[in-house]
Amino acid sequence: MAGNFIVPGKVFHGIGSFSQLSTIQGKKAVIVTGQGSMIRAGYVEKAKIILNKNNIDVTIFDGVEADPSFETVMKGFNFIKNFKPDWIIGLGGCSAIDAAKAMWVFYEYPDTKFEDIIPPFSIKPLRNKARFIAIPSTSGTGTEATCVSVITDREKGTKYPIVSYELCPDIAIVDGELCQTMPSHVTANTGLDALTHALEAYVTPLADAYTDCLAERAVSDIFHALPAAFANGNNLEARQTMHDASCLAGMSFSNALLGIVHSLAHQVGGMFGVPHGRANAILLPNIIRFNAAIVEEKYTKLASLVGESSSEGLAKKIEKLRHAVNVESSFLEYGIKQHIWEEKLHIMAEHAMQDACTACNPRTPTLDDMINILQSCFQGSTLIIK
Ligand code: ATR
């Protein structure tokens, strides 16, 4: 079967690679960023100085919130369209970069409606007006290397993964120094998100030699580097290893796609505001147990890279890592009230069945399977396959 392998045009990586922004040629750049961390850390100003030296006019759109909404995307689009940039730069956590990607789509095609871009691969060719640079400050989604942008519909309480090869950035700058100020809980959430990407990508029907080697390297590096980055945010070696691993996992899943950990995390995140990586980490071990009947051999291969010998060993090792970085073992422990959970259970399972990620899960779930998985992860019990 012929396969695609789509990655950013250029990836600059390593401590200090931020300065590679000086290689950009153009006239106008808009920097899209979050709610202040990158301004406070001086990176917005640093980017401005570097770009101004190349005679590029720079303007800033800041204030993108966690789990960016469609409203924020439209606000950014209205800002961008008046400035008419030829570069859009997403600088910050995945929220800022994903919002910037979606603003880019509307900037290129102002008549687009949000519903038009929800079906996978429905975005028309971009780059008629601007090209895109992603500079992440969290080590999780790997959005700097992916064809994905996740936008939240707050009214419906659900997250939409917008998927198109067009969304893969032209340039990614993966500099672990930007992550030094990341709080430890964000380090944990995002690091476990990256681990989930590698693990899910490894077992989809689209996984191949290209995506497997990236996922394998990401998994072994994350098990080593995440506890170190969590314990000491100033450990630049651990920060860069996590940043690279997140990008490798991003390239892997952007091509092999994902499975039902993401389908379900999109619902629990959209409904209850559980940070994405945290929701993934609570779901992942039980979904490994669910999928094992189909892909035990592949999980065993991955398990062997981290000193384990079976899918169950791998699931337990993830539970230990999760505990080591202070992430809860259930949604109940996270703080969701049982009666509200039960009210929303069916609708979350139904939406998860329709999520774009469900089609690539190695084992096709039924609605009852989704409910069973959600319930076990609510209670924190080991999944019993019905
Ligand atoms: P994710 O990558 O998981 O989507 P996010 O939603 O973009 O993460 O960011 C989560 C939180 O981490 C936000 O509060 C963000 O702050 P800003 O909105 O002010 O940027 C914060 N954050 C992200 N990267 C950070 C960094 N390197 N240092 C400090 N805070 C950071």
| Atom in ligand 1 nearest the alpha carbon of residue 37 | 19
Confidence of residue 156 (pLDDT cuts 50, 70, 90): confident
State the distance from the centre of ligand 1 to the C-alpha of 92, rounded, in angstroms.
Answer: 6
263 contacts: CB under 8 Å, gap ≥ 6:
352, 353, 355, 357, 358, 361, 370
| pLDDT > 90? residue 385 | no
Q: Report the C-alpha gap between 275 and 298 in whole angstroms.
A: 28
Where does 42-200 show beta strands of DSSP type E?
A: 57-61, 87-92, 131-136, 148-153, 158-163, 171-174
Give pLDDT, residue 1: 63
Q: Report the C-alpha gap between 172 and 303 in whole angstroms.
A: 30
Q: Report the C-alpha gap between 250 and 299 in whole angstroms.
A: 19
Q: How far is CA 227 from CA 57, 111, 231, 237, in A?
A: 41, 46, 6, 12
Give the mean pLDDT of 346-357.
95
Considering only CA atoms, which residue is closest to atom 23 of ligand 1? 93
Backbone angles phi, psi at 59, to 5 degrees: -130, 160
pTM (two decimals): 0.96
Whole-number percent of the chain with pLDDT over 90:
94
| Atom in ligand 1 nearest the alpha carbon of residue 65 | 18
Q: Report the C-alpha gap between 13 and 7 in whole angstroms.
A: 14
Residue range 114-152, pLDDT digits in tens: 999 999 899 999 999 999 999 999 999 999 999 999 999
Structure-token pair, residue 190: 């995002």
State the distance from the centre of ligand 1 to the C-alpha of 385, rounded, in angstroms.
Answer: 37
In testing the pocket of ligand 1, which one of 186, 193, 240 has its CB within 8 Å of the most ligand atoms? 186
Considering only CA atoms, which residue is closest to atom 26 of ligand 1? 182
Q: Is 326 helix (H, G, I), strand (E, B) or coil?
A: coil
State the distance from the centre of ligand 1 to the C-alpha of 34, rounded, in angstroms.
Answer: 7
Considering only CA atoms, which residue is closest to atom 8 of ligand 1? 93
Q: 186: Cβ below 6 Å to ligand 1?
A: yes
| Atom in ligand 1 nearest the alpha carbon of residue 190 | 3
| pLDDT > 90? residue 356 | no
State the distance from the centre of ligand 1 to the C-alpha of 185, rounded, in angstroms.
Answer: 10
State the distance from the centre of ligand 1 to the C-alpha of 189, rounded, in angstroms.
Answer: 11
Considering only CA atoms, which residue is closest to atom 28 of ligand 1? 182
Residue range 65-103, pLDDT digits in tens: 999 999 999 999 999 999 999 999 999 999 999 999 999
Residue range 171-217, pLDDT digits in tens: 999 999 999 999 999 999 999 999 999 999 999 999 999 999 999 99
Q: Which residues pair with 59 in a beta bridge?
A: 30
Q: 143: Cβ below 6 Å to ligand 1?
A: no
Give pLDDT, residue 292: 98
Q: How far is CA 345 from CA 204, 287, 330, 356, 374, in A?
A: 26, 17, 15, 19, 8
Q: Is 20 helix (H, G, I), strand (E, B) or coil?
A: helix
Q: 34: Cβ below 6 Å to ligand 1?
A: yes
Considering only CA atoms, which residue is closest to atom 13 of ligand 1? 66
| Atom in ligand 1 nearest the alpha carbon of residue 276 | 3
| Atom in ligand 1 nearest the alpha carbon of residue 98 | 4
